[in-house]
Amino acid sequence: MAEQTQDTHGPGLRIHVTGREGEARRIAVCGDLDIATAETLRAVFAGASGESVSRIVVDLSGVSFCDSSGLSALVDAEAAARAAGIRFTLARPHHRMAELLRITCLDRHFHIAAEVPTGSARH
């Protein structure tokens, strides 16, 4: 089974998706998660959730800014993944992103990992 790769670019946002069908999908996000980029992120999540995957790992180490639209896209993606029986993990949030998740109490909602979990697709 070959590794699948997809790159999405937009103003202020780069998304790199890797993984093998039936396994984990890694979504590396770089840039700003805001009102201008949230729909692009939602589209990538919808594509990943619609595939045959067991896990989605969102690498947030490259996120430099996140507003309520970005948080909403993450919450919606996690809910869709959960409804489809897919484990959803946020990995390596930058310290500002980790603080935002903490002050909004979303750190209690999401599964958050300090590193990209082993066994997931690699970048």
Of 6, 85, 88, 11, which is closest to residue 47 (Cα–Cα)? 6
> In CATH, what class is 27-47+54-113?
alpha beta
Instruction: Print pLDDT tens along the chain (123 aa).
Output: 445 566 677 778 999 999 876 788 999 999 999 999 999 999 999 888 766 788 999 999 999 999 999 999 999 999 999 999 999 999 999 999 999 999 999 999 999 999 887 654 443
Domain boundaries, the chain: 27-47+54-113
pTM above 0.95, yes or no: no
Task: Report the C-alpha gap between 55 and 65 in whole angstroms.
Answer: 25
Handedness of CA 107, 108, 112, 114 (dihedral sign): positive
